[in-house]
Amino acid sequence: MASQTNEIITVSVPPEAGYVHVLRAVTASVAARLPIPYDAIEDLRLAVDEACAWLLARGRSASGMTLLLRPLDDRLEAEVSIDAADGPWPPPDLQQSLPWKILSALVDTISVDTERGRPSIRLTKRTLEPSRTT
């Protein structure tokens, strides 16, 4: 799990559906710098959309939504989080829920967590071949 690069890209936006496209675009832009195929970038984009919508539906009282991107040797990690949730997070029926099903078809791994009161969804997508760090 140890990262071999320290690059982290963070973007924070107001927790509104209208800003999701910003996070989507940044994800695609960072992904495009890695050896990630076009198909996978489109999948990631859909996944970020889905993850944001999922959190937004549960975070009406939130005041911020943050995307954190971590390009690693063999994968790109994208974590979306909000700063407050109205209900329990992760939701009780997690793996049965539709967003989970959709996300699992789009990315390689998903983990759903709450850290310091921030509900988050972390997605990873593998790169084509291990890239060399520069």
Partner 1 sequence: MSSVERPIGSTDREVETELFKRLPDDAEAREQLVRMFLPLAEYLARRFDRRGEPLEDLVQVASVGLLNAIDRFDVERDVQFSTYAAVTIIGELKRHFRDKGWAIRVPRRLQEVGLRVNAVLPELSQELGRSPTVEEIAARCGDSPEDILGAMEAVQAYSTTSLDSPVGEEGAAPIDVLGGDDPSLEILDGWASVAPAVKELPERERRVLYLRFFRGLTQSEIAKEVGVSQMHVSRILSQTLSFLRGAVLEEGDPLREAEPHGADLDET
Nearer to partner 1, 8 or 128 (CB): 128
d(CA 63, CA 60): 8
Out of 5, 101, 109, 114, the only residue in the binding site for partner 1 (CB under 8 A) is: 101
H or E element that contains 33:
none
Which one of 3-11, 64-72, 78-86, 101-109 is the stretch in contact with partner 1 (CB under 8 A)?
101-109
CB atoms within 10 A of CB 80: 26
Token pair belonging to 88: 């329990």
The span of 2-10, 21-29, 75-83, 114-122 binding partner 1 (CB under 8 A) equals 21-29
Which residue, chain included where needed, has tokens 């996070």? 23
- Decide: is 79 part of the binding site for partner 1 (CB under 8 A): no
Phi, then psi, of 40 in degrees rounded to 5: -70, -35
Among 100, 118, 120, 125, the residue binding partner 1 under the rule CB under 8 A is 100
Element (H, E) at 12: strand 9-13
Which residues are near partner 1 by CB under 8 A? 21, 24-25, 28-29, 32-33, 35-43, 45-46, 49-50, 53, 57, 96-98, 100-102, 105, 128
